[in-house]
Structure 1
Amino acid sequence: MSCMKVELGIQPDIAHKPKEAFEFAANNGFSHIELLMDHPYYSLENLSYAEVLELKGSYDLEVLLHAPATSTNFISTSSLMRKASYAELERTMSFAERCEAKLVTVHIGWNPGFITARGFVFQEEIYSRHNYEVLTREFYAFAKYYGEMLAIENTIRFDESLSRALEFLLENTDVALTFDIGHYYAKGDHDVFLRHFDRVRNIHLHDNNGEIDSHLPLGHGNVDLSIIPNSYEGYATIEVRDEEAILESKRYFEEWTKKCKKDERNERA
């Protein structure tokens, strides 16, 4: 047994403007900050790479980026929407390079279900071939170019075709992974990420009851941190976006880590 070695960071409280976010992270002993670029304060329209570089240097924090997810969809059935999504991600990657960000996490997108007279219906089979083809053709080219700077997150349920597509990308590019432990417990079917944990560079930490992706503080739900391999070394990012919940999650994670180290010492004795 060997306890994981992580660099613990945060996504900002949603009320924090950039300087407040960096100050809060630095004052509370975090190693990095992951900027959620869907938030207006951190969007490409409102935040300059020069400002991020200045804050990064002033507060001695590493920077990660979470690419826009509400405005992108790489498995859309619309080729026009996919092209726009890649254009947005290209802007994000350029921003990342200019502000010396260490990693960019990306969502692959989603397929729609439909409300019917018999309830909500999601027809997985009609998207299966489409998803595999656009990811192994279009996303492959992007992942091949950016490699480990880009990390795919487990978000939607990964059916057999999505899992095969991810396996293809991992085998044929250096693309990385971001493992969201809350999504794993709330949405399921993310075992492909566990099988390739050696490619995980960032872990999103939050809790839930196993049914709803509620982003609770750690310790307030059923998420079991022990699913993370003891050999993991990399970033871990608290993703609760609320000051009090961030600090509570930090305390919980540190206590859990201490217990892990204590168990390791006892095992060696």
Structure 2
Amino acid sequence: MRNIKSKVHAHMPYHLLSRYLESILQQKLNLEIYFHHWVLQDLDKAKCLETARLLAESGLKITFHAPFLDLRPAAMDDEIRKASLERIKQVFDLAPYFHPLKIVCHPSFDDRYYVSADDLWLENSVKTWKELIKLAKEYQITIALENVYEKNPFILRRLFDALSSDKICFCFDTGHFNVFSHEPLNVWLKELGKYLGHLHLHDNFGRLDEHLPVGDGTFPFARFFQIL
């Protein structure tokens, strides 16, 4: 159990961190800290710095998860794209406090929304992530782009190919794949395997994004790890 704990990061919303901090420190849990947009609007930087100090003194490793609700990092409207970029940048601004290994972000492609606009989505997406890659280099972190509503891996493959940066990797989310993908697992890993650098492990029954424990749903974990 101790060996497994040292290799995984438990998801923890920042606004709940103070409630569970004592237990986290006792159990030596590495964290993926998620920052809601409303947390970033009124963040107590002094408290944030103190929390980061306690985690660091315990030798815990940290990753971040950027906000995503309402954000469109590849928006057709450039003002919306820029507003999304600025909100995501707020999480990067906290990197000097916590020194995260990675920041997980949603590229937010949905073909129901960007109907017949793959190329324009890609062009705008590249603009945004290139700006954030500059910050990733400055803070010596990696951006992990996560699949969510994508029915197949092909648009993400085009994005990773276009960015061509060692500061960008693919975060494969097992639960999102199980609900939204129309392509089999082997196709995803064939297309994006060389960019794979992060995993989100949770389960569901293929209908709702329930975030169940591994093995409590229908995602083929045994086959997944065999392919890896």
Range class of TM-score, shorter chain = 0.7 to 0.9
Query: Any gaps of 5 or more consecutive residues in structure 1?
Result: 114-121, 233-269
Q: State the structure with more CA Rg.
A: 1
Q: How many residues align?
A: 216
Match of 2:8 in 1: 8
Distance of 2:91 and 2:61 partners within structure 1: 17
Q: For the Cα contact (< 8 Å) 2:146–2:171, is it kept in 1? A: yes
The alpha-carbon deviation at position 144 of structure 1 amounts to: 5.4
Matching of residues 201-220 of structure 1 within 5 Å? 201-220=197-216
Match of 1:167 in 2: 161
Say which of 109, 117, 132 aligns to 2:122. 132
Matching of residues 7-46 of structure 1 within 5 Å? 7-12=7-12, 17-30=16-29, 32-38=30-36, 43=40, 45-46=42-43
The alpha-carbon deviation at position 145 of structure 1 amounts to: 5.1
Say which of 168, 179, 183 aligns to 1:186. 179
Match of 2:169 in 1: 176
Any idea what SS the aligned residue of 2:101 has? coil
The alpha-carbon deviation at position 211 of structure 1 amounts to: 2.3
Q: For the Cα contact (< 8 Å) 2:147–2:176, is it kept in 1? A: yes
The alpha-carbon deviation at position 186 of structure 1 amounts to: 1.3
* 1:195–1:35 distance in 2 versus 1, CA, 3 Å: same
Q: For the Cα contact (< 8 Å) 1:66–1:104, is it kept in 2? A: yes
The alpha-carbon deviation at position 180 of structure 1 amounts to: 1.0
Distance of 1:172 and 1:100 partners within structure 2: 20
Q: Which amino acid aligns with 1:155?
A: V
Q: What is the TM-score when the length of structure 1 is the normalising length? A: 0.67
Q: Which amino acid aligns with 1:74?
A: P
The alpha-carbon deviation at position 74 of structure 1 amounts to: 0.7
Q: For the Cα contact (< 8 Å) 2:25–2:55, is it kept in 1? A: no
The alpha-carbon deviation at position 207 of structure 1 amounts to: 0.7
Q: For the Cα contact (< 8 Å) 1:110–1:156, is it kept in 2? A: yes
Q: What is the TM-score when the length of structure 2 is the normalising length? A: 0.78
Q: For the Cα contact (< 8 Å) 1:182–1:213, is it kept in 2? A: yes
The alpha-carbon deviation at position 78 of structure 1 amounts to: 1.5
Q: For the Cα contact (< 8 Å) 2:110–2:149, is it kept in 1? A: no
Any idea what SS the aligned residue of 2:203 has? coil
Match of 1:75 in 2: 74
What's the C-alpha RMSD, in Å, of the aligned pairs? 3.2
User: Can you list the C-alpha shifts for 1:14-65, whole angstroms capped at 9, x where unaligned?
Assistant: 69732333333343453x111111175x546235341332231354321211
Which runs of 4 or more aligned residues in structure 1 lie more than 6 Å from their structure 2 counterparts after TM superposition?
A: none
Query: Any gaps of 5 or more consecutive residues in structure 2?
Result: none
Q: Which amino acid aligns with 1:81?
A: I
The alpha-carbon deviation at position 181 of structure 1 amounts to: 1.1
Match of 1:255 in 2: none
The alpha-carbon deviation at position 90 of structure 1 amounts to: 1.8
Question: Could you say which structure has the greater relative contact order, defined with CA pairs below 8 angstroms and 6 or more residues apart?
Answer: 1
Distance of 1:55 and 1:112 partners within structure 2: 43
The alpha-carbon deviation at position 103 of structure 1 amounts to: 1.1
